[in-house]
Amino acid sequence: MNRRQALLGGSALAASATLGGVSRAFAADETVKVGVLHSLSGTMAISETTLKDVMLMLIEEQNRRGGVLGRKLEAVVVDPASNWPLFAEKARELISKDNVAACFGCWTSVSRKSVLPVFKELDNILFYPVQYEGEECERNVFYTGAAPNQQAIPAVDYLMSADGGNVKRWVLAGTDYVYPRTTNKILEAYLKLKGVKPEDIMINYTPFGQSDWQTIVSDIKKFGSAGKKTAVVSTINGDANVPFYKELGNQNIKATDIPVVAFSVGEEELAGMDTKPLVGHLTAWNYFESIDTPENKAFIDKWHAFTKNPKRTTNDPMEAHYIGFNAWVKAVEKAGTFKADPVIDALIGVSVPNLSGGYATVMPNHHITKPVYIGEIGADGQMNTVWQTPGLVVAQEWSPYLEGSKDLIGDWRSPMSCGNYNVKLGKCGGAA
């Protein structure tokens, strides 16, 4: 795909939108560009390509409604190619050259960390749609994925419960970068607080794209043979999940023996796997395609129509983009402008529908409220919900289980306007 083809609807041509059967023309100078910053090649393409596609769908749908503030939206798609420094270059290009009003993108935390200085320097907005490790609260970022208390902590609590198997030993297995390492640091502290002994925690990291899992899975199997119920908490990202789960099947590790709960495996990743050996293993997300609500059914129907493929799955980060995009539209309309500063202020307090039948609210810490679901992998690659929170969970951007952050909060409302306010010291600037 060349750059011209990546511009949704053409860049300089007039377009039309249908409003209640009435067609109106958008003049070329009315176009507002929106950045789409997702890997379409490399190890993360397995997860991120779908997020590019859903952004194109959302923008097309909004244009049919008449655009935003009477102006047509135009997607500018770039491919950072799973190259973390390239994310920063592409972000700068989107903001400085293409003059996008906002960006929707990144998956890994290392890609998000790469672009943060660019969004701060150029004062633009990033909507980040994937679960992450917390320990961050930036003014120019809106975190529509889950913080640890909206995914990782509830998953561990479930596995510790009778329904989850009364797990006593823990394997924390992740890809070697900031999200797994920080999340596992939080989980290790939390497990020890719950009385788990250090010798009952095994931690392992592998590079992006890891393909040989035979020895690692063998070690997990041995660790789980000590007479205590054992589970794997997986923060493995990207296409490395395919050989990991395949090796679990090769070594006959069933969910009844050592259940795996994954935080980065959804319907899209499972679509490329033989799921039969994975039946009963778990995932923790804030949305499943199998959720039975009118809102979700309508979204899935639109997705199938847009992609012209009734077999294309939906997943949690897609819902996060759905929420983030609709919140941005509502905030722009509230602010009466596309300029970043007024829109950033207007986003706080905005509520928009989620796909599970409720509403997501943008909180002062730039995170959103979410339900939490634990699902079992079925033979059809769908998640069968086995547990869910009774209501919405407010994100904890700073972990209460880590010494350096337990006294911090983020609140971007005036007059505080601080992402790391120390409530103990009564000042902005983080830990002393």
Of 3-12, 379-388, 389-398, highest mean pLDDT: 389-398
pLDDT at 44 over 80: yes
Show the CA angle centred on residue 70, arms to residues 68 and 71, nearest 5°.
70
Q: What is the mean pLDDT of residues 27-42?
A: 89
Return the pLDDT at 9.
39
Check if the beta carbon of residue 187 is closer than 8 Å to that of residue 133: no
Q: What is the mean pLDDT of residues 44-53?
A: 95
Q: How many residues does the chain have?
A: 432
Percent of the chain with pLDDT over 90: 84
Q: How many CB atoms lie within 10 A of CB 354?
A: 26
pLDDT at 2 over 60: no
Show the CA angle centred on residue 8, arms to residues 7 and 13, nearest 5°.
80
pLDDT at 68 over 70: yes
Q: 383 Cβ partners below 8 Å, 6+ apart?
A: 266, 267, 283, 285, 288, 289, 290, 373, 375, 376, 377
Pairing of strands 230-235, 201-206: unpaired
Instruction: Please identify which residue in the block is written with the tokens 């390509």.
Output: 49
List the structure tokens of 377.
């992998």
Which domains does the chain show, CATH number per domain? 15-147+292-361 (3.40.50.2300), 149-291+373-388 (3.40.50.2300)
Name the band, by pLDDT with cuts 50, 70 and 90, for residue 12.
very low
Check if the beta carbon of residue 353 is closer than 8 Å to that of residue 291: no
- pLDDT, tens only, 97-123: 999 999 999 999 999 999 999 999 999
CA distance 142 to 23: 34
Mean pLDDT, the chain, integer: 92
Range scoring the smallest mean pLDDT among 67-71, 245-249, 352-356: 245-249
Check if the beta carbon of residue 152 is closer than 8 Å to that of residue 179: no
CA count, 13 A, side-chain hemisphere, 184:
23
